[in-house]
Amino acid sequence: MTPRIYAGAAVAASALLCHSALAENRAVETVHFELGMSSIDSDTKDSTSNGTLGANLIATLPLGRYFGLSLGGRYSESSVRTRDVLEDDSGSLPGGRPSCNFDSYGGDASLFFRLPTWGRIGASYGTGKLSPDCNGGSLFPVTGENTLSTEHYRIDAEYYLGDFTFGVAHTTTTLDDGPELESTMLTTSWYPLDSLKIALSGHDLYDENTYGILVEHQPEMLGDVLSVRLGYSMTEESPKTRTFQIGLSYYFGREVSLKSRDRQYR
């Protein structure tokens, strides 16, 4: 699958470069800030489910006419619902319910080339740290410790076609000194309205197929500064995992439609 992705990315990049002379707008119209909050519920069959509350801040800066730089930071905390696996056959818990939480923070930087009428290509680098706090013990096998540092590199490309955006991203993630995780994500987004986006995605992290749908709406009545996201994804492999997401983003600066924001501002 990976050669197919690279080929697609190369085609998209060539197409973008060929048409650059025809570009009418800048890659990033103006400095753009986005403050987001999200709640994600992840439910694994016959295992624990956990809820994650997170926040992120992303700044996108223009670099000349064709380039943009995106800098972001994030923090999230996941609470594991331990009762799911500890209750006995009668549904009662023998003793108190232990807590188990994961903290995660990190940041990334992305440099991209964009022609707003055609698409963009970019590369990203990010780091992060995960740390658990579980009654009983929790550690990361690759380190044998209770913290895990992550690094990831990503190349991505998007192609804008009318009300559709086609995206491909390949990410290489390193867990401390452990194995590298390679994954490719394909995304197709449709804007039935300029204020509404429906995105279908699929990725192959751990060589398992995960499919998702995300609906994002930026209502005009709220002044085009706020968007709401609802998402659902599922992993087919055993054990099956389903993820529900609800998110809210607030944008500082220019009040533009969601479609314009995606293609010209962030």
Partner 1 sequence: MHHLTGARRVAGVALLLSLCACSGSSDDNETSRQIELSTHSLTFSAAAPTAATPAAQTITASFSAGIANLSVVHTGQGIAKVTTAVNGTTAQIVVTPSDPATIGAGRFTGTLAVTGYFCADTACSRLEAGGSQTVTAKYQISPVVDYVAPNVATAGVSGTAVIRGSGFNGYAIQSVKFGDVAATSLTVVNGSEIRAAYPALPAGSYAVSLGIPTHEGTPPSTATLIAVDAVTRTAQTLPWPAAVTAVTSLRHDAQRDALLVSTDIADGTVVRYAHAGGAWEPATTTAIAGVRDIALSTDGAQLLALSRTGLTPLDPVTLAPATTIAAPSLPEKSFLKTLAVANNNLAIVTTGIAESKATELYTYIVRTGVMTKLPTALNNASMGSSTNGALIGIIQGDSTLTTAPAAYTYAAASGTFSPLGVALNQNSVAPVLDRDATRLVLNGVNVYGADFALLGKLPETTLAVSLRPDGKRAYTYDSAAAGILTFDISATKNGAAFTALGAATPLAAAPGASAKMTISADGKTLFIAGTTQIVVLPAPLDP
Query: Which of 3, 137, 177, 221: binder of partner 1 (CB under 8 A)?
Result: 137
Measured from the CB atom, the residue of 26 and 50 that comes closer to partner 1 is 50
* 3-state SS class at 24: coil
| Shortest separation between residue 225's beta carbon and partner 1, angstroms | 25
Determine if 209 is a binding residue for partner 1 (CB under 8 A). Answer: yes
Determine if 58 is a binding residue for partner 1 (CB under 8 A). Answer: no
Q: Which of residues 140-199 bind partner 1 (CB under 8 A)?
A: 140-142, 144, 148, 150, 152, 154, 161-164, 166, 168-169, 171, 173, 175, 178-179, 181, 183-188, 190
DSSP string for 154-208: EEEEEEEETTEEEEEEEEEEEETTS-EEEEEEEEEEEEEETTEEEEEEEE-GGG-
Number of residues that bind partner 1 (CB under 8 A): 86
Q: Which of residues 73-112 bind partner 1 (CB under 8 A)?
A: 74, 76, 78, 80, 82, 85-88, 93-98, 100, 102, 104, 106, 108
Query: Which of 28, 52, 62, 113: binder of partner 1 (CB under 8 A)?
Result: 52
Q: Which of residues 113-132 bind partner 1 (CB under 8 A)?
A: 126, 128, 130, 132
Residue 241 and residue 209: Cα distance in Å, rounded? 11
CB contact at 8 A, 31 and 178: no
Determine if 135 is a binding residue for partner 1 (CB under 8 A). Answer: yes
Determine if 229 is a binding residue for partner 1 (CB under 8 A). Answer: no
Measured from the CB atom, the residue of 237 and 255 that comes closer to partner 1 is 237
Closest CA to 251 of 233, 232, 265, 230: 265
Pairing of strands 148-161, 226-235: unpaired
Determine if 204 is a binding residue for partner 1 (CB under 8 A). Answer: yes
Measured from the CB atom, the residue of 66 and 159 that comes closer to partner 1 is 159
Residue 143 and residue 165: Cα distance in Å, rounded? 39
Which residue has 């549904």 as its token pair?
91
CB contact at 8 A, 135 and 146: no
